[in-house]
Structure 1
Amino acid sequence: MRRGIIAKAIFVGTVAVGSYAFSGSAFAQEAPKRIDVSVKKFAYEPAEITLKKGQPVVIELTTQDVAHGLKFKELNLNTKIEKGKTAELAFTPSQVGDFVGHCSVFCGSGHGSMTLTLHVTE
């Protein structure tokens, strides 16, 4: 009888620990922060975004005028946005700093000044 009680106690303890571990508190993955960015000749709106290091993010880019792109050389990120469509740039910032992205598809005379700045903080 004593073995049965001990076995039940071990079972209940194991289930309790397992339930806690998988309840979301220990292994929950943070949902990505979604940021909508409107793209047009010759600007991104918003033009600056502040992110936290380690927090997953999805930047959703839309354009209605012409094709554009967005490239962050330092972060190894690059995407193209087709006219009338949406593109997603999904990543998790791993470094702190200010990173300037440039339009990577020639879109006219103001193309060279078209930038989006990411401020990544701790």
Structure 2
Amino acid sequence: MRPKFALLAVIAVALIFSSILPLSACAQDQPQRVEVVAKRFQFIPADITLKKGVPVVLVLTSQDVGHGLKFKELSIDIKAKKGKSAEVTFTPQQTGTFIGQCSVFCGSGHGSMKLTLHVTE
């Protein structure tokens, strides 16, 4: 009787793990979502850290007028209209610190509107 119980226990554990592992694998395949708010000459947050090789969905939401966010070195340029959001999916391929700037003229403080992106190993 004991060998049958041991066999049933092994099968039960195998079934539990086989049902859990695909879910965790799917969760890891989802890109990291980073939300940035643009308003009155600032990005919130103004500083973001990402990992090299990890896919990211960057969501830009404009609260007051049209804004953009451009990282020239990463070939990223996203634009959001007033009160709307826009998103771009990318995977950072190089480490370093990159400065993004508003790419849609938004008024007198436009030139000071920056976001720092750190990409680490």
Give the shorter-chain TM-score range.
0.7 to 0.9
TM-score (norm 1): 0.76
Letter in 1 for 2:104: V
TM-score (norm 2): 0.76
Letter in 2 for 1:73: K
Which residue of 1 is the match for residue 120 of structure 2? Answer: 121
- Pick the structure with greater CA Rg: 1
Letter in 1 for 2:72: K
Which residue of 2 is the match for residue 58 of structure 1? Answer: 57
- Secondary structure of 2:89's counterpart equals strand
Letter in 2 for 1:83: K
Deviations 1:72-116 (A, max 9, x none): 000001011100110102100000000111000000111001001
Is the 2:60–2:78 contact (alpha carbons within 8 Å) kept by the matching residues of 1? Answer: no
- Secondary structure of 1:107's counterpart equals coil
Distance 2:63 2:25 in 1: 43
Q: 1:54 to 1:106 in 2, by over 3 A?
A: same
Distance 1:106 1:27 in 2: 40
Deviating 4+ runs (over 6 angstroms): 24-29
- Equivalenced residues, count: 101
Is the 2:60–2:79 contact (alpha carbons within 8 Å) kept by the matching residues of 1? Answer: no
Name structure 1 gaps, 5 residues minimum. 1-18
Q: 1:29 to 1:65 in 2, by over 3 A?
A: same
Which residue of 2 is the match for residue 89 of structure 1? Answer: 88
Query: Is 1:36 paired with 2:38?
Result: no
Q: 1:26 to 1:111 in 2, by over 3 A?
A: closer
Q: Offset at 1:60?
A: 1.0
Query: Is 1:100 paired with 2:96?
Result: no
Q: Offset at 1:26?
A: 8.7
Distance 2:48 2:35 in 1: 10
**CA root-mean-square deviation:** 2.0
Deviations 1:6-57 (A, max 9, x none): xxxxxxxxxxxxx9xxx58999962101111111010000000000000001
Distance 1:90 1:51 in 2: 13
Letter in 1 for 2:103: S
